[in-house]
Amino acid sequence: TLEGQLGARTAGSYFDQAQGKMVVTTTDAADVQAIEASGAVARVVPRSGPSLDAIMTFLDRTAAVPGTAWAVDPAANQVVVWVDSTVAAQARTKVQIAVQQANNKAAAEQGQSAASAPPAVRVENEPGKFSLFIQGGDAIYGGQYRCSLGFNVVSGSTYYFLTAGHCGNIASTWYSNSSHTTTLGTRTGTSFPGNDYAIVRYTNTSISHPGGVDLYSGSQDIASAGNAYVGQAVRRSGSTTHVHSGTVTALNATVNYAEGTVRQMIRTNVCAEGGDSGGALFAGSVALGLTSGGSGNCSSGGTTFFQPVVEALNAYGVNVY
């Protein structure tokens, strides 16, 4: 890929909806011709991918308090830190100190003072609370909770479904109804925190498991799995709020929930609510992610984070169909 060829010189790419083109960043003006030859728009930026990644790692180490999240904003060539309404003054001060230290270090790398250099990190307030979207795609039930089925997957002749790891941690047996009389299957793997994915093997042979995503008025066939990109138009399906659409706003986000930290998440402006956890994120026939959590709701809007589905497929050796 072009980004692979650019290596450490690029700080990421994003889809510019106004231009209808991908924008590829580079720290070296000598790359502009090759980028434009590929059909993309070239943008020369001051900070490299490794420089921004180092800031992410620094924040992971120094600013990890519940109610915060951070990710690289390739369009701004910055790291953005989001602080939700639950973060108290003392914790907020801890985050602000870490951000100032990161900005000081980034300025020094550029040979500038922190006062004169444009900030490498910016802080934004997130209305509401970052929480896992679980509560007491198609509804699935385990323990006392309801989640959503993400994608049906297969390995050989054995069928499974993917959902969120924070759902998978709750129960080993999953049902299609709240009275727990119709079994779907048995959990065979779960990963949360750190990641947020789980897999359940179908054990009920009378249950059909088509490969598409429920749109609650028809379905969307899923033909493949892929990696999201910033600026991508996406849709999400879940058992509480059904289908909502929006845009990918960041990749590789760190989210500090009260229950634990997850990393390398997809951040979007698609809304979701309790019970939507585990549901599918997709673009056309391409599977992209599993609903993790976020803030807000589908009345006022919100932010939702997703576990990239490719990582889950690779972890369990399964495929969408």
- Is 180 a known active-site residue? no
HEC string for the chain: CHHHHHHHHCCCEEEECCCCEEEEEECCHHHHHHHHHCCCEEEECCCCHHHHHHHHHHHHHHCCCCCEEEEEECCCCEEEEEEECCCCHHHHHHHHHHHHHHHHHHHHHCCCCCCCCCCCEEEEEECCCCEECCECCCEEEECCEEEECCEEEEECCEEEEEECHHHHCCCCEEECCCCCCCEEEEEEEEECCECCEEEEEECCCCCCCCCCEECCCCEECCCEECCCCECCEEEEEECCCEEEEEEEEEEEEEEEECCEEEEEEEEECCCCCCCCCCCEEEECCEEEEEEEEEEEECCCEEEEEEEEHHHHHHHHCCEEC
Q: Would you state the torsion angle of the CA atoms of residues 250, 256, 261, 264, taken in this order, to the nearest 10 degrees?
A: 10
Claim to verify: residue 166 and residue 275 sit in the same structural domain: yes
Catalytic site residue from 239, 277, 292, 295:
277
Averaged pLDDT, groups of 10, the chain, 321 residues long: 91 96 98 97 97 98 98 98 98 98 96 92 97 89 97 98 98 97 98 99 96 97 98 98 98 98 99 98 99 98 98 99 97
Contact 270, 289 (CB under 8 A): no
User: What pLDDT is recorded for position 3?
Assistant: 85
User: What whole-number distance in Å separates Cα of residue 289 and Cα of residue 264?
Assistant: 11
Q: 185 and 319 share a domain?
A: yes
Domain with 319 in it: what CATH number? 2.40.10.10
Catalytic status, residue 166: yes
The single residue of 13, 31, 84, 166 carrying the catalytic annotation is 166
Choosing from 126, 157, 173, the residue where a domain stops is: 126
Q: Are residues 67 and 189 in the same domain?
A: no
Domain span at 225: 129-321
pLDDT tens digits, residue range 79-119? 999 999 999 999 999 999 999 999 999 999 999 998 899 99
Instruction: Name the active-site residue from 73, 84, 196, 276.
Output: 196
The whole-number pLDDT of residue 114 equals: 86
For residues 119 and 143, membership in a common domain is answered with no
> What is the tally of structural domains in the chain?
3
Task: Note whether 174 and 260 are same-domain residues.
Answer: yes
Domain boundary among 126, 141, 162: 126
Residues 31 and 164 occupy one common structural domain: no
Whether 318 and 158 have beta carbons less than 8 Å apart is answered as: no
Domain final residue pick, 85, 110, 126: 126
Contact 305, 293 (CB under 8 A): yes
Q: Do 138 and 277 share a structural domain?
A: yes
The pLDDT, as a whole number, for residue 1 is 82
Peptide bond into 308 cis (omega under 30): no
Tell me: do 16 and 108 sit in the same domain. Answer: no
In the residue annotation, 277 being an active-site residue is answered as yes
Q: What are phi and psi of 33, to 5 degrees?
A: -60, -45
Prediction pTM value: 0.95
CA-to-CA separations, 321 to 209, 227, 286, 290, in angstroms, rounded: 10, 17, 10, 16
Q: What is the CATH number of the domain that holds 104?
A: 3.30.300.50
Is 121 in the same domain as 232?
no
The Cα 291–Cα 197 span in angstroms is 9
Q: Are residues 118 and 133 in the same domain?
A: no
